[in-house]
Chains A and B, each alone.
Chain A
Amino acid sequence: MFQCLTFCLNDAWCLASSGIPALDKLMADGYPDKSAVLVVGPPGIGKEALGYWFSQTGLVQGDFCLYVTRLSVREILQDVKGFGIDLQQRVPLWLASEGGQIRYDVNDLANLSFNIKDILRKNADRRIRVVIDVLSSLLMLNQPETIYKFLDQLLTEVKQYDAVLLATVEEGMHKPEVLTAMQQLFDGVVELKLYEEGLRVLPLLRVRKMRGIPPQPGYYNFSFTRAGMEVSAYGR
């Protein structure tokens, strides 16, 4: 765990560990500071696990963590357990539909924005990690333009703090142009996708873009084990 501790070379260039050493390596030691990263992938591929490890690592380091989900906390903790992660010892602040400190209402976008900004303000003296796992449902219930505006304002606010935001969005549920527009708003995009190669189905990972590092065209195999996420170079 301590191998992947966040480190700061100086005030201007800090990196936040993803909690997955192999993924950190691909991104030159972690997510850039004051950044927003989008994880794109189909349902069931394990995007949320990236958020779990990101939160867990932050909590271990003493960062303040906010987890925004449309599920109940109980459901998240069950899911977390499936990946061999323990979020019960050190808990993030839950903004959830049930069981959290703050209630998430999918129909109240303004309140969601207000709550997140308020939490950021109250923890301005700490290093902050935010995980948002509600973008797809918001995109399904609102006009995409409304969500772009909401995100644009939120991400601008987040970057005023010592914070890193990680959001997930579903592939296949939204029009390609919506996903492309979403990716433009973020500093980094990590894709987890299923690829068909002959008669094989491979889960592959790609860092599509990340602020501070040159674009990486390479694909990587990944798999989840009880010990974490394993990432290895993909070769045909």
Chain B
Amino acid sequence: MLDLLNYPFMQRAILAAVLTGLTAPAIGTYLVQRRLALLGDGIGHVALTGVALGLLTGIAPLVTAVIVAAIGAIVIELLRSYGRTSGDVALAMLFYGGIAGGVLLTNLAGDSAATLQGYLFGSITTVSSSDLWLVAILGAIVLILAIGLSPQLFAVCQDEEHARVSGVPVRVYGILLAVLAAVTITVAMRTVGLLLVSALMVVPVATAQQITRSFRTTFSAAMVIGLAAALTGVVASYEIDTQTGPTIVMVALAAFVIAAPLGAIVRSWRNHHRVHDPQ
């Protein structure tokens, strides 16, 4: 099995999977805490237009996807924080616009929508070294900010009003989180694909939560689970010859299916323990 490490494309694939497996659940924990679990999906749709813009202009799709996804994320966050009433309809329009725009621009570039398949579901073995450099730099930035600013991000996602009275510029952090999510999604685009990236942001967090009791352990456990799912998925997809994105997501879901009943047992044991705890 170790022979797969001899192929340069597999080395790149594994490195990209490690970065995705760590960054997606890190940002995902904040999104779930803020009850924005589906934000990743929305940004993923918008990023597709960015990819198509790259195909149309001849610029690397990864670069245009990062830029368009970040702009889309900022628009979504502003719509969310200012226009609460019509927010979800506005969001929906942005999502559909992202997909339709992506396919339309791809057609205009002279390609069929099939070209987008590798971006929608991941195509990890086609990651080039220049892609990998960008993915590595962006992934590192995401991780440094997600961990370094965790006191602020935790406070904003836990209780926005209290954070504001603590002097935290809540709107700035909201936008920062949305942009970090956009960058994470484009980092993960080649690994799990734009349609499935949200799964890697949410499922490891949901899995970790079955057992964990604090934010800190949820955050770390989600990253470990994400990393394990991404690595297992890459290797499995190579061995059984399937697409990487769906394979990684199914591994992550399998972990959840195992953790859910386990968590229920642990919780009932803890409750039982507390009832008999004479304090």
* Same complex: no
Interfacial residues, chain B to chain A (CB-CB below 8 A)? none
